[in-house]
Amino acid sequence: MTDAPAELVHLSVADGIATITLDSPHNRNALSRRLVTELFAHLEQAGADDDVRVVLVRSSGKVFCSGADLTEASSEGMEEGTRRIVALQRLVATLDKPVVTANLGAVRAGGIGIVAAADVAICAEEATFALTEVKLGLAAAIISLTVHHRMNPRAAALTTLGGEVFTGAEAAAYGLVTRAVPAERLDEEVAAVCASLATGAPQGLRESKRILNRDLVARIDALGEEMATTSTRLFASDEAREAMTAFLSRK
């Protein structure tokens, strides 16, 4: 009898706060099918728990999420994966409880979609972000659903077309995250924000979030299928496959 594979995403609940921790260090918390499936399940579980007021998503290490799992994408394609990530962003935006993300270090490509979908995003000033898709012959298509809702248009153009790294402090200025704080204050700031949100009444939180995210959810519903189709097509292209193979060979 073989042991069950270790869980890639953990859930714990205390003081009205459900903490969901990404813990897949072998691939830098890439959005593999398993990680997305487990994250989806834990979000739904937290959403259904009457004791939970706030959901916090963070990582066990410095890297929050490295984006799509390029090993899976290059070998198995992304037809299912792109639609699942659209659905993940929609789940975060429609969950009846506020969702907070916290990141100390790197967030790349598809991982930025989770940050953008969240209601509140707090990061270290020294954290790094990059929409790297353009470097691989891809486009930030499925995450544009949430990222372009948050970021100001000039910042979105600069970061999407350039694909370069930008800091947590810049992410706050661009509108991608709510607040950037010194790394040593991140845990304290996240705890204070979550505690404050947790004082909200369930109905008040639910109805307020629905009003706040009405336009975001409408955007996901209107454009989600088109963006998933575009992303799937680009992942399957010769240009992207060559770029992903070259990238993976350098790792």
Just list the catalytic residues.
133
Contacts of 24 (CB under 8 A, 6+ apart): 8, 9, 30, 32, 35
Residues making up the chain, counted from first to last: 251
Residue type, 2: T
**H or E stretch at 130:** strand 128-130
Tell me the CB-side half-sphere exposure of residue 78, using CA atoms within 13 A. Answer: 32
81 token code pair? 């994966």
Tokens 């935006």, located at residue: 93
Q: Which of these, 120, 96, 119, lies nearest to 210 by C-alpha position?
A: 96
CB 125 within 8 A of CB 147: no
3-state helix, strand, coil in the chain (%, to 5): 55, 15, 25
